[in-house]
A and B are shown apart, each in its own frame.
Chain A
Amino acid sequence: MQMDRSEWLLLAGGLLIALGGFLLPSWMVSIATSAFATALVVQGVVLLIRAGLVSFGQGLFFGIGGYAAGMSNRFLGVTEVFGMLALGLVVAVALAMVLGLLVSRYREIFFAMLTLAFSMIAYGVLVKSRALGSTDGFGIDTWHILGWTPPDGYGQLSLFLLTVTIGSIVAVLLHRYRRSALGLACEAIRENEVRVEYMGISQRLVLYINYVIAAAVGALGGSLHALAIGHVDPGMTYWTTSGEFVFIALLAGSGHVAAPFIAAVLFALVRTYAVELIPNAWQMGLGITLLLIILFLPGGIWSLFTRLRRATS
């Protein structure tokens, strides 16, 4: 497998962040873990945006990943983290393969509304499920990574390392996907769908595959997030959660696979400091800061780097 410069950089960045986990204060480690997990879901949203589609229902796969991990842990006694992740992945991909048949026919607001509707159906079902704790959700107890149980006090750090590892691998794979014929066809569809059809590419098949891949990374993010928080509840599939993913995707921009990770950490940090500094109006502080970023960087955070590169060259 030939690795290009970006991929080496992604892996090196992942390694650096993983090593940083040993130096960072523990509150930062736990914020970064859930932010990176969120970033995986955002990667899916960005994939869809690259194909010209905005999903307001990515919370569906986020929730499926979380609940698959939680339910397999609680009801099936699965304690192996990779087992929990795999189950979420399988369920989400299976569901996306069915839903994808329908949603890949739709564009623009119709796609947005349809994805929103599916995630809200999941929300409604979860809220009515007594055995799953309704809106209160339930906790995830004990888990181990490949049979290894982290010693007391190192649970968050090991989840951080796991998330960074998975995040780096997914980033490399997505980077490849974006440059593959399939990934490039997505961009072409966004620009001119009819022309893509004339070139002999089935736009439905391309969008279908793209949707399933977005669902898969969403479920991975959901499972990792649920493990980091130690609790799942139907709020994961609520539309405001999906809206947050779209917002982070806009903040990141679709320029590079590394951008969603940076944007998700920035979002989490801005929010936690807003809660600390203005406890009575933190939503306003968060909103204004993010609005300013979007105003001054309309192409997302990644445009900072491209600008810098242009300025130096």
Chain B
Amino acid sequence: MKAHKSLSRWTRGVTTAGSALALAAAGLAGMTATASAEEDTFRVGVVAFLSGNASGPFGIPARNAAEVVIEGINNGDLPAPYDTAGLNGLTIDPVYIDENGGTSQQVEEFRNLVERRDVDAVVGYTSSGNCLAIGPVAEELEMLTIAFDCGTPRLFEEVESPQYLFRTGLDATADNIGAVRYLQDTRPDVTRIAGIQQNYAWGQDSWRDFQAALDTLMPDTEIVAEQMPQIFQGNYGSEISALQTARPEIVHSSFWGGDMEAFVTQANARGLLDTATALLTTGESAFYRFEDRAPDGTILGGRGPYGVFAPDNALNRWFTDAYVEAHGEQPSYPSHKMAQALLGLKHAADNAGAEAGTKPDRDAIIETLRGASFESVSGTVRMDRADGHQAVQDMVYGEYHYDSSEGPRLENVIHYEAECVTAPEGEDPVEWIEAGFPGVDCE
């Protein structure tokens, strides 16, 4: 009996000591990680959805692109003007962080990146909520942070005079102004419009901007139905029936990822898309996956000149080839946006005026990136809004067509100049739309 008692005390002791050791080891690992930040590497935190619903369509393509571009930069494989190895000669040392887990966890992890992992810059964030939460923290910690994908028009309203926060992609307002302009150019006679959006900030903002632009540019149209199902609902049978009874000609949707593919598949099977054309603002991410599940003529956007809409330039050719070689599939728009953010960082680091092979001063990098114009996989990017912290670019829309022997292709691709889809500096986008786009001539 006594032996048994001492034995159990012994096992308890071992388990306690074991868990204490495990914690200590984890702590030690963290410290060594900090200690290994050296002068000849440039450490970049890369934050993308590695798990959860947004990982498949956005996070994994973005992380894959980051791997390809960072390896390319480190080896000096990129075409001009990025044909020098590294960031100003320094090897990029990426730290990948999962964006899943909610805003409070992301704020904590951002602080960890800056204060424990000792990164020199952070590139990431697809979720608008995360961008809005990270922005003020980036300013507080004075950390160069490049938002590569999030689309909220509120980002630089919340961070009023940004110093350290940049965004190299377009906001959701540009998507929806572009969508209306495309309708105006290709289907000027439509009158019956319907919408289906996920019931959260992205869907609500997209629908508001689309309606505002429609009111201004196509005043003869009428909204015949609107549906706001829960995000990740997956089954849209009743919404599709409700849309069908309203007999729309165009169905606008800001659905993304799995929801978007599920909606298109179900709407096509139920015959909604026989009579109506779907207008999918993020449809590009499924361009290579739709096959015959999306009818010919479906209107796709890619949130800018990314993915299949990207121009045929040397950088894009290099990127697409390297991506296909490394990952066995075509890059989609989140891949291009991640590549663009990293190229912006390289442009700024290379031109910050530091001696080659030394780490440029953070303020010098920021000064270089502010208001910069740099070459990217999507053409020339101008950092021309929000005091030079927000990129402006063309918006592109096109029609999806599929041939079982030749695969998918785009038709009727139209580019809209940046000035036609993005409000001038300092103007509220919705007021600008409602006032009839003053100051630009896009007819």
Q: How many Å from the CB of A274 to the closest CB on chain B?
A: 9
A279 on interface, CB distance cutoff 8 Å: yes
The minimal Cβ–Cβ distance linking B46 to chain A, given in whole angstroms, is: 10
Q: How far is the CB of A257 from chain B (nearest CB, A)?
A: 22
Check if B133 sits within 8 Å of A230, measured CB to CB.
yes
On whether the beta carbons of B133 and A307 are closer than 8 Å, the reply is no
Q: Kindly identify, within residues 19 to 41 of chain A, every residue whose CB is under 8 Å from any CB belonging to chain B.
A: 25-27, 30-31, 34
Contact B19 A293 (CB under 8 A): yes
A283 to B55, CA, bound (A): 14
Known: A25-B116, A134-B201, A229-B103. A139 touches B133 (CB 8 A): yes
Give the contacting residue for A136; candidates B97, B105, B116, B154; CB below 8 A.
B154
Q: Of the candidates B27, B115, B135, which one forms a contact with A26 in the assembled complex, judged by CB atoms under 8 Å apart?
A: B115
How distant is the Cα of A271 from the Cα of B103 in the complex, in angstroms? 14
Q: Would you call A133 an interface residue if the criterion is a C-beta within 8 Å of the partner chain's C-beta atoms?
A: yes
- Decide yes or no whether A50 CB sits under 8 A from chain B: no
Q: Is B199 in the interface zone, CB < 8 Å from A?
A: yes
User: Judging by beta carbons under 8 Å apart, are B112 and A27 in contact?
Assistant: yes
A139-B136 contact, Cβ under 8 Å, with A276-B112, A307-B12: yes
- Residue in B closest to A289 when the chains form the complex, CB atoms: B22
A21 to B137, CA, bound (A): 20
Whether B16 pairs with A230 at a CB distance below 8 angstroms is no
Chain B, 20-58, contact with A by CB distance < 8 Å: what is the 0/1 string? Answer: 001100110110010000000000000000110000000
Contacts of A293 in B (CB 8 A): 19
Instruction: Tell which of A31, A229, A279, A296 touches B133, judged by Cβ atoms closer than 8 Å.
Output: A229
| Best-surrounded residue of B9, B104, B158, B199 (most CB of chain A within 10 A) | B104
A18 to chain B, nearest CB (A): 20
Q: Would you call the interface of chain A mostly helix, strand, loop, or mixed?
A: helix
Which residues of chain B (131-158) have a CB below 8 Å from chain A?
Answer: 132-133, 135-137, 140, 152, 154, 158
A128 contacts B by Cβ under 8 Å? yes
Chain A's closest residue to B23 (CB) is A269
Inter-chain CB contacts under 8 Å: number = 120
Contacts of A272 in B (CB 8 A): 108-109, 112
List the A side residues contacting B9 at CB < 8 Å: 311
Residue of A nearest to B137 (CB): A230
Q: Which residue of B lies closest to A283 (CB)?
A: B51
Total count of chain A residues near the partner, CB < 8 A: 45
Q: Are A30 and B111 also in contact (CB < 8 A) when A134-B200, A136-B152, A231-B133 are?
A: yes
| Interface of B (DSSP majority class) | helix
**A247 touches B (CB below 8 Å):** no
Q: Give Cα distance in the complex from A235 to B52, angstroms.
A: 15
Residue of A nearest to B199 (CB): A127
The docked-state distance in angstroms from the alpha carbon of A233 to that of B154 is 15
- What A residues does B133 contact at CB under 8 A? 137, 139, 229-231, 233
Interface residue A135 (Cβ < 8 Å from any Cβ of B): yes
Cβ of B432 under 8 Å from chain A: no
| C-alpha gap A67/B258 in the complex (Å) | 31
**Is B117 engaged at the interface, CB distance under 8 Å to the other chain?**
yes
- Contact partner of B132 among A27, A138, A280, CB < 8 A? A138
A99 close to B (CB within 8 Å): no
Say whether B105 contacts A271, CB under 8 Å.
yes
Assess whether A83 is interfacial by the CB under 8 Å rule.
Answer: no
Residues B50 and A231 in contact, CB atoms below 8 Å apart: no
A235: min CB distance to chain B, Å? 5
- For A235, give its contact among B103, B114, B158 (CB under 8 Å): B103
A134 & B204 in contact (Cβ 8 Å cutoff): yes
Instruction: Say whether, besides A133-B201, A229-B103, A230-B137, A273 and B30 are in contact (CB < 8 Å).
Output: yes
| Residues of chain B whose beta carbon lies under 8 Å from any beta carbon of chain A | 9, 12, 15-16, 19, 22-23, 26-27, 29-30, 33, 50-51, 96-98, 101-105, 107-109, 111-112, 114-117, 128-129, 132-133, 135-137, 140, 152, 154, 158, 199-202, 204-205
The 8 closest A-B CB pairs, nearest first, are A134-B201, A231-B133, A27-B115, A135-B200, A136-B201, A273-B26, A136-B129, A27-B116
User: What 10 new A-B contacts, CB under 8 Å, besides A135-B201, A231-B133?
Assistant: A31-B108, A34-B108, A127-B199, A136-B152, A139-B132, A233-B133, A275-B101, A277-B29, A281-B51, A304-B16
